Chains A and B, each alone.
Chain A
Amino acid sequence: MDVSTTPERKARLPFLVRYNLLPRTILRGRREGMIENRPVLDLVTHLVLILGVVVIAFPVYVTFVASTITAEEVLAAPMSLLPGPHLFENYREALVRGAGNSSAPVWQMMTNSLVSALIIAIGKIAISLISAFAIVYFRFPLRNFFFWTIFVTLMLPVEVRILPTYKVVSDLGMLDSYAGLTLPLIASATATFLFRQFFLTIPDELAEAARIDGAGPLRFFWDVVVPMSKTSVAALFVIQFIYGWNQYLWPLIVTTKEDYYTVVIGIKRMIAGGGEASVEWHLVMATAMLAMLPPAVVVLFMQRWFVKGLVDTEK
């Protein structure tokens, strides 16, 4: 505790803490255990958090309620805030028939979303794994050039080069296809970086041992590198699956046929055009619930990897 005694040391504290240079004994503070007893502040703490949770959950609650009542009940302003008895018929109608101006059934859009999210997530992980492996474990001409080529893509989100990318995809005849929906989103510098960082921490002794045993690079990749990368792969999968499922701008412009609509696009088409009165809000809301379900399930049940993935990909 004597860190805080002399003024000079006090002034240096933030730096020391930031760079993790404090002696072990100081860093090992007890995390749990209140510093002091303040019952009023405790109460405020929980009230603020509960308020936050309720306000954040409110839109989804209203969506859920709207998806369990009839179209007329939704239009009765204000609608009731208690769930109605039409849950199954609304969801069945949305899944089988769709809603509003978009006649594509929601199950089909959900399938499209699932297929493209899986292709994007798995494709990204696969091509990033092998390219990071090549960059870390080989010395070859143009290695640095390739590395920077991949790096630069970090700087160009699809939103800013949307028209020319569309033109390329249309020239390649990939409009209205899974390839068109997914391929332009598969290249990712973030994933390559993440794996590169991770590979650099693998001890050299392992590669050495593999070489002495006569294992080639591919054998080493499959038997050592890939198994060791399991947690990184899981973390990245969660993030990329959500990213793929929630894509909007790209599917919006490369799909013109309803057969290839993803569910996120489907919702937009259901409320667009045709005027206010024709929107079947109870079915739109059922579709919204269905669209939120898979990524929410992934976040909640794979929370540990989700948090890891989020933090890792931002480094």
Chain B
Amino acid sequence: MEKRVVFRSWWLPYVLVAPQLAITIVFFFLPAGQAIWQSLLAQDPFGTNVEFVGLDNFVTLVHDEYYLASFKTTAVFSVLVAGLGLVISLVLAVFADRAARGAGIYKTLLIWPYAVAHAVAAVLWLFLFNPTLGVVAHWIKGFGIAWDPLLRDRDAMILVVVAAVWNQISYNFLFFLAGLQSIPKSLIEAAAIDGAGPGRRFWTIVFPLLSPTTFFLLVVNVVYAFFQTFAIIDAATGGGPGNATEILVYKVYKDGFKALDLGGSAAQSVILMIIVIALTVVQFRYVERKVQY
């Protein structure tokens, strides 16, 4: 789409885009270019000895069992976060859509966790799950189940998943609710007149009509689990115990800043960039359609 009426000036438009462009070049293109260049170099931590090694860093990564383990951790984490987050928020949204009275109040009471920083959410759940003083940890132990997210892999994973899901529910809930409210009530009434019960109506009418929203949220949640949960991992477990919760973005940070393996970290950045670009393309191709409805 283009404007028919435009203004004429040979310098003004450049001045207007200049600030945005300058920041984009300095803080996006320069670093991204450097990451790609760096990923082709081998360098000691002090930068005294630099050598061009081609794709060696990538080859090393592919054979690095820790990197492959991190991929697996990320996959488990993303499936759990996206799956649980979507199911819980869909249930809440379906009921909130049904509740004729009080829907607005429920909505207000369910959306505020969006405002809580990921790191703060992590600290909140770390406190609840703390093996010595956590309230929830105390309940779990009351059932005779051993619990220590600081030492046991599985418990640490549960901790970060719960914190990540808790933080994301409100976002999913809002989009599901908007999707549900855009489904014409007359369709559901027609099905009701034909004798379909609430469960049948949900699975044959509501759920299929909601599928664009669901797909959109699935992509958003995977992106969230892959990239934005860095703060949760860092504040709650620091990737531990061992490497049990070390997802890919966390490993980029750890290898680059803590281990000073610049080439390896840059190669990981490049792989992550490719993953983000793929996900963004999927999302955009899809969003073209979503805007319509």
Contact = CB atoms under 8 A, between A and B. Distances in A.
Interface stretch (B57-65, B69-77, B96-104, B151-159): B96-104
A83 interface: no
Nearest to B287: A315
Nearest to A300: B112
B209 A281 contact: no
Interface in B13-35: 13-14, 16-17, 19-21, 23-32, 34-35
A26 B187 CA distance: 8
A314 B174 CA distance: 12
Contact of A27 (B132, B184, B292): B184
A165 B20 contact: no
Contact of A79 (B92, B125, B135): B135
B185 A168 contact: no
Nearest to B125: A59
Given A18-B293, A46-B102, A162 B95 contact: no
B184 to A, nearest CB: 5
B145 interface: no
B220 interface: yes
Given A49-B95, A307-B174, A150 B120 contact: no
Nearest to B139: A78
A229 to B, nearest CB: 15
A187 to B, nearest CB: 4
- A-B complex: 9 closest residue pairs judged by Cβ atoms: A29-B186, A29-B185, A246-B117, A164-B31, A134-B16, A248-B231, A295-B115, A164-B34, A138-B13
Interface string B257-293: 1000010011001001100110010000001001111
Interface string A1-22: 1011000000001100111101
B144 interface: no
Contacts of B133: 74-75, 77-79, 281
A49 B92 contact: yes
A77 B134 CA distance: 7
Contacts of A271: 123, 126, 235
A288 B32 contact: no
B256 A267 contact: no
A48 B134 CA distance: 26
Given A46-B102, A207-B3, A146 B21 contact: yes
A17 B115 contact: no
Interface in B184-238: 184-194, 198, 208-209, 212, 216, 220, 227-228, 230-231, 234-235
A249 interface: yes
A140 interface: yes
Contact of A291 (B95, B120, B127, B208): B120
A160 B280 contact: no
Interface residues of A, number: 121
Contacts of A260: none
Contacts of A230: none
A133 B12 CA distance: 11
B9 A138 contact: yes
Given A31-B185, A249-B230, A288-B124, A140 B13 contact: yes
Given A187-B23, A264-B119, 8 more contacts: A20-B293, A149-B21, A156-B32, A207-B5, A218-B12, A268-B234, A288-B123, A299-B111
Contacts of B265: 163
A242 B115 contact: yes
A183 B183 CA distance: 42
B23 A253 contact: no
Contacts of A311: 174-175, 178
23 contacts: A1-B190, A13-B187, A14-B209, A48-B92, A77-B134, A134-B12, A149-B25, A155-B277, A156-B32, A160-B276, A168-B30, A172-B26, A187-B24, A204-B4, A242-B115, A248-B234, A249-B230, A267-B120, A285-B127, A292-B117, A296-B112, A311-B178, A314-B287
B38 interface: yes
A314 B220 contact: yes
Contact of A31 (B24, B112, B181, B230): B181
A56 B110 contact: yes
Listed residue (B10, B114, B171, B188) with the most chain A CB atoms within 10 angstroms of its CB: B114
B187 A17 contact: yes
Contacts of B269: 160-164
A162 B29 CA distance: 12
B256 A155 contact: no
B82 interface: no
B273 A56 contact: no
Interface in A15-42: 17-20, 22, 26-36, 38, 41
A17 B293 contact: yes
B280 A138 contact: no
Interface string A277-315: 000010011001001100110111001001100110011
B53 interface: no
A141 to B, nearest CB: 9
A315 B292 CA distance: 11
A18 B235 contact: no
A87 interface: no
B124 A63 contact: yes
Contacts of A78: 133, 135, 138
Contacts of B4: 204
A192 B103 CA distance: 34
A138 to B, nearest CB: 4
A162 B252 contact: yes
Nearest to A296: B115
